[in-house]
Structure 1
Amino acid sequence: MSLHDLHRPLGSTGLMVSPLGLGTVKLGRDQGVKYPEHFRIPDDAQARALLNQARELGINLIDTAPAYGSSEERLGPLLRGQRQDWIIVSKVGEEFSNGVSHFDFTPAHARRSLERSLQRLRTEHIDLLLVHSDGHDVAILRDSGIYETLAQLKREGKIGAFGLSGKTVEGGLLALEQGDCAMVTYNLAEQLEKPVLDYAASHAKAILIKKALASGHACLAPGVDPVQASFELIFSHPGVSSAIVGTINPQHLAHNAAIAAAVIRRPD
């Protein structure tokens, strides 16, 4: 069961996205990540096979970031000849080096970061660019000037839309008031940001769900499929555009897509 006929609007951006997006932190970074099991970064053949599988399953949304280690650099050549097939989401604000994250929300850094991402991804345009928050969402949006810079980059045609990958309700609401999209945490264990989803649903704004499966930690009673229960929660909300899943396991990816398709197609 594929997702090809289940693509949906990304808010009012004009983009159509699959209900699942492929997160690519595991293509480029294995330090300082909060997954329950150790994993090995896939080689190019494995990564290419994963991307091909995602396309075959009807997934057209891919999520990356400078903070994801070598993810952007690897995706550039891996997506050669396929750019038209993908909606690319990347970010500005967070850098990761020597095992440590650091943040820079200045307008100058945002521009440099975007130009570097364009070079790494070997593209002239990023569909959606998000501010990668450190948790001080409101201060970043109000005081740093970065959101105004992203709005200008959109006017220049270098990005199609912009928003915030944040950590607070206040930040998510402000991000949607002034931008196109908010990426929020929403799963079986954590639903504090639901008001952001509610706002998006009533204002035709875009919502991307991160940690949809609680970074692999989703756990329920015996006999209950945590993926199905997670997707039932997520896709029952009309504000959700897409949920990002970060698996590099082909079986998991196929299972996720099949369950998502079944949940979305199920009659109310």
Structure 2
Amino acid sequence: MSSLHPFYRPLGSTGLSLSPLGLGTVKIGRNQGVKYPSGFELPDDAAVRNLLAQARELGINLLDTAPAYGTSEQRLGPLLKGQREQWIICSKVGEEFNGGQSHFDFSAKHTRQSVERSLQRLGTDRLELVLVHSDGNDLEVLDQEVYPTLAQLKQEGLILAYGFSGKTVEGGLRALQQGDCAMVTYNLREQAERPVLDFALQHNKGILIKKALASGHLCLDGEDPVRAGLELVLGHQGVTSAIIGTINPAHLTQNVEAAVSVLSHME
């Protein structure tokens, strides 16, 4: 069976080592207001438990969650009991999702409360990585209290690294100057934020990729879209890991097999 174990990559200078694919968990917590080609039911606990076991077997050690992902954090907490040390957990601050609507709060008070709530929900004493869930006004968000508060939480040891999940090149570049990591959209259709990847590579910062496969919308004539997408994303040396959100065990296996094949050819 394919495994990503031989291909772990450092997250910039944080000392964390990540699998080149991470498991996104929005689909275990929320099926309202999500941009996927088709609707889906939330999987039950047994299905999520099996998915986590499968991901671990395939060499994935990165879990991506967020308060805005509905019940994702609350569900992961109990399911990760006894295996917390085997995972690197990335959560977020800034965006709340209630009653089908998102709202944003980047204040110091909310940032701290959000991290403390995530720790409680996930049943853990630290989060390896916390990202700011930007509302798209990246530079305005970075002018608020959220980044200095995350820096303080890092000093206190509640989080090990922090960064920014934004929508603009300017936001990504500024976020990397002050923080450890950025989460960037980069795929066969959207490459506008590539300068953020290049900057990260030059300055030893971490990069996580969102929408690496364009949220499942990607179709290429006569070519394997997953492989082609991963070739682009993992082929950039600035990229630490691509977050793939799936609750389908067959897709998870296919994604890992494609990534292992791509990474093996790069060596």
- What TM-score does the superposition give when structure 2 sets the normalisation length? 0.99
The match for 2:101 is 100
Tell me if 1:224 matches 2:223: yes
The match for 1:37 is 38
1:76-91 pair list within 5 angstroms? 76-91=77-92
Task: Give unmatched runs, 5+ long, in structure 2.
Answer: none
Task: Give unmatched runs, 5+ long, in structure 1.
Answer: none
SS, match of residue 34 in structure 1: coil
SS, match of residue 90 in structure 1: strand
Q: How far apart are residue 4 of structure 1 and its match?
A: 1.2
1:56-71 pair list within 5 angstroms? 56-71=57-72
Match of 1:134, as an amino acid? Answer: D
Match of 1:253, as an amino acid? Answer: L
Match of 2:139, as an amino acid? Answer: V
What are the superposed Cα offsets for residues 88-140 of structure 1, whole Å, 9 maximum, x if unpaired? 00000000000000000001000000000000000000000000000011111
2:233 and 2:209 mapped to 1: Cα distance?
8
2:92 and 2:27 mapped to 1: Cα distance?
16
1:39 and 1:191 mapped to 2: Cα distance?
28
1:168-187 pair list within 5 angstroms? 168-187=168-187
Q: How far apart are residue 38 of structure 1 and its match?
A: 1.1
Match of 1:12, as an amino acid? Answer: S
SS, match of residue 251 in structure 2: helix
Tell me if 1:167 matches 2:167: yes
Match of 1:181, as an amino acid? Answer: C
SS, match of residue 266 in structure 1: helix
Match of 1:100, as an amino acid? Answer: Q
- What is the number of residues matched between the two proteins? 266
When structure 1 is superposed on structure 2, of 155-164 and 3-12 the one drifting more is 3-12
1:267 and 1:113 mapped to 2: Cα distance?
40
The match for 2:76 is 75
Q: How far apart are residue 37 of structure 1 and its match?
A: 1.1
2:92 and 2:6 mapped to 1: Cα distance?
28
Tell me if 1:246 matches 2:245: yes
1:233 and 1:266 mapped to 2: Cα distance?
13
SS, match of residue 255 in structure 1: helix
2:241 and 2:234 mapped to 1: Cα distance?
9
Two-structure CA RMSD over aligned residues (Å): 0.7
Tell me if 1:236 matches 2:219: no
The match for 2:10 is 9
Q: How far apart are residue 200 of structure 1 and its match?
A: 0.3
Q: How far apart are residue 267 of structure 1 and its match?
A: 4.0
Tell me if 1:207 matches 2:207: yes
1:40 and 1:256 mapped to 2: Cα distance?
21
What are the superposed Cα offsets for residues 58-114 of structure 1, whole Å, 9 maximum, x if unpaired? 000000000000000000000000110000000000000000000000010000000
The match for 1:189 is 189
2:96 and 2:145 mapped to 1: Cα distance?
18
* Large movers: runs of 4+ above 3 Å: none
1:38 and 1:2 mapped to 2: Cα distance?
30
2:237 and 2:39 mapped to 1: Cα distance?
34
1:110-125 pair list within 5 angstroms? 110-125=111-126
Q: What percentage of aligned pairs have identical amino acids?
A: 67
